[in-house]
Chains A and B, each alone.
Chain A
Amino acid sequence: MSDTDILELIRQGRDERAFAKLYTHFPKVRKLVRDNSGSSDDAKDVFQDALIVFHRKARSADFALTSSISTYLFSVCRNLWREELRRRNKSLSKWDVEDVPEEPVELAAMLAREGEYSTAEQALRTLGDKCLEVLKRFYIAKESLIDIARSLGFAGEGAAKTRKYKCLEEARKRFRELAKHTDPIHHQHA
C-alpha cells in the first residue's frame, strides 16, 4: 500500500486500517529506542505519539507529503525520543546514520504543541465517561446537539448544550491545573 493510499485512508476516517499499515514502520523505531536506553514500551509510546502527529498532519487540508511517511515518522520519533531522553538526562548515542532525513523546520514547534495536546488528553481522561462522550460526539463526530441529546438521553437540545458547555469548562479547568504541573521543557508553548 502506497503512502498516498494511507493518506487517503486517514482522510476517509479509516484510522484503524491506516494505523495497521503504518505499524510496519514500528520495528525500525523500536530498534532506535531500544538501542538508545529505551524499552519496548517507550518505543510504543513514542511511535504512537508520532502516529498521532502524523494523523493530525494528514487530516489538515493543506498537507502535502514532502518525504516518505517512513522518513517522516522516523524523524518525528527521533525527536520525541531525544526530547524524552533529555528529560531523563541521557543522550541519544546511536544514530541511524544512513537515514537521517532533513529535519522539518517546524518540527520542534510542532512537538512542543504536541506536548500541550498530550496534557489536554490527560485532562480529558479524568473527566467522566458521559462528559467525554458528549465532547467526542460534538467535536469529533460533529454530531448535532439534538442527536447528542437523543442518543445520550438528555431532555433536549438546550440540555445537551449546557452539558457540553459544562464539560468543556471542567476539562479546561483540569487542563489548566495539569499544565501548571507538567514538565516545562516538555510542554512549553511554541
Chain B
Amino acid sequence: MRDELHLMELVDRYLDGGMGEVERTAFEERMGANAELRALVDDQRALREGLHRVQLRQALASAHRNWSITRWVPWLVAGLFVLVAGAWWVRLPVEHDARPEVQHEGTGDILTPPETLLVSSDTLAEPLDLDTRVETMFTHTPSKAGRWADTSRGEGRIVTHLITEDGGWIDEPAPVSPQVEHVEMPGSVSSTSAEFPVDVGLHYRPGQEISADSIIPSDVEPDAEKTVLATVERFENATKPEFPGGMEEMQRFIQDNLKQPRGTKKSGTVTVGFTVNKKGEVTNIEVVQSLGRAFDAEAVRVITSMPQWEPSRSGDRPVKSKLQVHVRFKGVPKKRATERRADGPMEK
C-alpha cells in the first residue's frame, strides 16, 4: 500500500500543478507509456471535479430556492412590515408584536408567518453619497442598527436586494439601483425563520430624512386563493390608521366598487401599497404586485377612490403610515365564484 499511497500523492501533485518542469515531463512520459497510470490520473481528475460538483450543489440549491421560494410560500409575504420615518430623522423603536396573520381560506386554519421582518429607520442615520462606496452597517439585532457611512449631495432611492437567513442574518446584499456599486449589510434586518429574499428600498435626502421606504419580497406571486395581507408601517405605540367604519367597511368598499376589467376572465390579486398621510389622505399609491395592466388600473382606481382615513396617531400627533392591500378579482365565474371576494388588510 505504501507504493500506491506514494503514487496517489504523485498524481495529486501533478494535478495540483505542483511539479516542476522536469518532473512533469518525466511524469507525462511515464503516463504515455503506462495506460494504467493514465487511467488513474483521468479518474482522479474526474473525482476532483466530481467533488467540486458535490460542493457546489449546496450553493446551487440555495440559489434555486431563493429564486423560487416566493412562489412556494406566498403567505410569507404577510410576515413583512416596515416602519417608516417621519420627515426628520427620528430614532424609532421597532415594533415586534404586530405580526399579521394569514388566513387559509377554506379550512379556516390560521398560519402564523415567521417572525416579522423588520428594518427600522434607525438603520439609516445619515445621508449617503452615491459617488463613493456606500456602506450600511446593521447591527445584529433588528431593533438596533447601524448607520449609513457617507454623506450625500443628492436625493434619491436605493433598492437593495438581500437574502435574510435563519436567525436574521443578511446574506449577500446587492444594490439593484444602477449607480450604487456596493452596499454592505453585514448585520441583520430580520428574524425570519427561513431564508427569504427581499428588496429593501431606501430613500435618502441630504441633511434631511432617510428612511426605509419599502421592503418587498422579491418576485413574489401572492397566492390569490390563500392570502390576506396587511403590511403596516407606523410608529411604535401609534394607533392604527382607520378606514371610516373600520377594516370590514373597507373590504366592503373594495368589494362593492371593484369591477372585473372588460374583456378579462381570470381571477387573481393585485397588491397595492399606499401611504395614509397625516391628514388621512391616501397617497403614494403603487402597485406592489401586478396582475396585468387592466387589473392594476382597476385596483388603483378603487384604492384612489377611497374616502379619507383617520390617520395613525402617535400620542396626539398624527403620523403617516403605510399599508398594503390585496385587491382580489373574482374572475368570470365558472362554478363557485360567489365565495370569492376582494380582501382588504386584516389586522388583529
**For the complex, is A75 an interface residue (Cβ under 8 Å from B)?**
no
Query: Which residues of B sit under 8 angstroms from A172, Cβ to Cβ?
Result: 40, 43-44, 47
Contact status B60-A51, CB under 8 Å: yes
Contact status A168-B47, CB under 8 Å: yes
Interface size on B, residues (CB 8 A): 29
Q: Report the Cα distance A21→B62, complex, angstroms.
A: 12
**For the complex, is B338 an interface residue (Cβ under 8 Å from A)?**
no
Query: Which residues of A sit under 8 angstroms from B172, Cβ to Cβ?
Result: 14, 16-17, 20
Contact status B51-A22, CB under 8 Å: no
Q: Report the Cα distance A183→B141, complex, angstroms.
A: 53
Contacting chain B: which of A64-72, A76-84, A120-128, A149-157? A120-128
**For the complex, is B50 an interface residue (Cβ under 8 Å from A)?**
yes
Query: Which residues of A sit under 8 angstroms from B47, Cβ to Cβ?
Result: 120, 123-124, 135, 168, 171-172, 175
- In angstroms, how far is the closest chain B Cβ from the Cβ of A45? 10
**For the complex, is A136 an interface residue (Cβ under 8 Å from B)?**
yes
Chain B residue nearest to A21 (CB atoms) is B174
Q: Report the Cα distance A121→B288, complex, angstroms.
A: 42
Q: Report the Cα distance A86→B68, complex, angstroms.
A: 29
Chain B residues touching A, majority SS: helix
Q: Report the Cα distance A52→B53, complex, angstroms.
A: 7
- In angstroms, how far is the closest chain B Cβ from the Cβ of A84? 17
**For the complex, is B346 an interface residue (Cβ under 8 Å from A)?**
no
| 3 A-B pairs with least C-beta separation | A120-B50, A19-B63, A117-B49
Q: List 20 A-B contacts (CB under 8 A).
A: A15-B59, A16-B62, A19-B62, A20-B63, A20-B66, A20-B174, A52-B52, A52-B56, A118-B53, A119-B50, A123-B50, A135-B47, A136-B51, A139-B48, A162-B5, A165-B4, A168-B8, A172-B43, A172-B44, A175-B50
